[in-house]
Amino acid sequence: MTHVTYKIVRHEDGWAYTVNGVFSESFPTHARALEAARQAAAEQREPGRTESIEYEDADGRWHREVASGRDRPETDVEDSA
């Protein structure tokens, strides 16, 4: 199972969370960034609908798959402050 960690960090003139090196929007306080990260982490764990998906790979070939809506990652929030 995949594991995703949301990390609370200082960003610009406030706070944000990162996931795999990508920053969220900035928040004016640490508490608001922490709450947003907790909410995002919880939402990511929620199951969705099973969907058929199509995508093109790096070689230009198209693929069709069924993506299970129950295949959700484990998440946590890491707060360094």
* Per-residue pLDDT, 51: 92
Q: Which long-range contacts (CB under 8 A, 24 or more apart) does 25-33 make?
A: 30/81, 33/8
Output the pLDDT for position 80. Answer: 78
73, two tokens = 């990652």
| Helix count and strand count (H, E) for the chain | 1, 6
Q: How many domains does the chain have?
A: 1
Q: How far apart are the first and last CA of the chain?
A: 28
Instruction: Give me the tens of pLDDT residue by residue for the chain, a chain 81 residues long.
Output: 699 999 999 998 999 999 999 999 999 999 999 999 999 999 999 998 999 999 999 999 999 999 888 888 999 999 977
Distance CA 68, CA 81 (A): 36
The pLDDT score that the predictor gives to residue 78 is: 96
What residues make up the domain containing 62?
A: 3-79
What is the predicted pLDDT for the residue at 52? Answer: 95
